[in-house]
């Protein structure tokens, strides 16, 4: 699968398990047609494996059996890849992690169906664990993610949302799958209901921090590092947290409002990004991300076990300190 051999630092402790996950991902699409397999491989082999790493580290913390844990991690990564295929179609994105998106290489109808195929393979991987509770949690995570995407697609015009709507959106689109991943890791470990809920809450806070940082990097990160042009959300008329915080300041917001209203002028977009960077809004958003991370660390302190506590804390630090 041409997977990079060096994971992000917090996940080095579970490198052998991540290697098993890669093998399971490759095996899961072995029965696909050659054209489909070649098309989806780059989209399965990229990324940081944060969701898989979260599952593996929490499983280690709670002494879960490795085999089922790796299968669950592969299923969640497959599900995440499927959501990205559909996201890219909705957004009209040409690049994902520096790689051409699936719909830019295939007819759109085929790309949609390829995403559906990945969804189905994800469910099949979990079904092999013969645990209805896991399937229910996976379905709930997918339902909430889909509902968040639908709400965003139907929102009232470009930029038409408040901060409360933003948080509701990222909780559904991003944090829900992190929460489900963490809760399912606890289920595989046979943890009690309280621990399952605590792990789910931990995953939620991590997911919220991750998405806020993602939205900051979209405006402040290097296109080379991000693998896509800067300001992608703003270009689509989507007001993320840094944009909303900037608008709250009420100073020289004309360029931002014009972009959110649908003005696609590149020079105007670049001016808007410069204004946001100079305003302090990015620092304010990062403070919010660190707040979510701190809340997750408080939850981590209440979990039983301890074999992976330091690595889980490092994972939280990585999420807010990363530059891509």
Domain range summary for the chain, segments of one domain joined by + = 11-321
pLDDT tens figures, 275-323: 999 999 999 999 999 999 999 999 999 999 889 999 999 999 999 999 8
**Nearest CA-CA partner of 304 in 182, 196, 209:** 196
- Under 8 Å between Cβ of 240 and 273: no
Q: Tell me, what's the pLDDT at 5?
A: 47
Give, for 99, the enclosing helix (H) or strand (E): strand 99-100
Give the end-to-end CA distance of the chain in Å, rounded to a whole number: 22
Q: Tell me, what's the pLDDT at 9?
A: 93
Q: Tell me, what's the pLDDT at 1?
A: 46
pLDDT tens figures, 80-119: 999 989 888 888 888 776 687 889 888 999 899 999 999 9
| Domain 11-321 CATH class label | mainly alpha
199-203, 260-264, 290-294: range with lowest mean pLDDT: 260-264
CB burial class (10 A; 0-12, 13-18, 19+) of residue 92?
exposed
Q: Tell me, what's the pLDDT at 243?
A: 95
Q: Tell me, what's the pLDDT at 2?
A: 43
Q: Tell me, what's the pLDDT at 215?
A: 96
Joined together, the tokens standing for residue 36 give 């489909």
Q: How confident is the model at residue 221 (pLDDT cuts 50, 70, 90)?
A: confident
């Amino acid at each position: 699968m041409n997977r990079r051999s060096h994971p992000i630092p917090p996940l080095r402790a579970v490198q052998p398990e991540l290697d098993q996950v890669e093998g399971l991902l490759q095996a899961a699409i072995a029965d696909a047609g050659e054209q489909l397999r070649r098309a989806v491989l780059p989209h399965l082999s990229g990324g940081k494996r944060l969701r898989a790493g979260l599952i593996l580290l929490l499983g280690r913390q709670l002494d879960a059996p490795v085999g089922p844990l790796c299968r669950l991690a592969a299923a969640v990564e497959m599900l995440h890849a499927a959501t990205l295929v559909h996201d890219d179609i909705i957004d009209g994105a040409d690049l994902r992690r520096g790689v051409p998106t699936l719909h830019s290489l295939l007819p759109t109808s085929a790309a949609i169906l390829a995403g559906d195929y990945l969804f189905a393979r994800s469910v099949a991987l979990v079904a092999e664990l013969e645990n209805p509770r896991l399937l229910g949690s996976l379905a709930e995570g997918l339902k909430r993610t889909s509902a968040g995407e639908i709400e965003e697609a139907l929102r009232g015009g470009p930029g038409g949302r408040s901060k409360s709507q933003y948080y509701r959106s990222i909780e559904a689109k991003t944090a829900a799958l992190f929460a489900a991943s963490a809760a399912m890791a606890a289920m595989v470990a046979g943890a009690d209901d309280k621990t399952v809920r605590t792990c789910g809450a931990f995953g939620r806070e991590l997911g919220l921090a991750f998405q806020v940082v993602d939205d900051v990097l979209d405006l402040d990160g290097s296109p080379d590092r991000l693998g896509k042009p800067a300001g992608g959300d703003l270009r689509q008329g989507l007001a993320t947290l840094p944009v909303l915080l900037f608008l709250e300041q009420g100073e020289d917001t004309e360029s931002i409002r014009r972009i959110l209203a649908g003005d696609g002028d590149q020079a105007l977009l670049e001016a808007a990004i410069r204004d946001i960077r100079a305003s302090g809004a990015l620092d304010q958003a990062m403070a919010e991300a660190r707040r979510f991370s701190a809340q997750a660390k408080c939850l981590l302190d209440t979990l039983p076990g301890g074999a992976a506590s330091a690595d889980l804390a490092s994972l939280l630090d990585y999420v807010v300190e990363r530059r891509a």
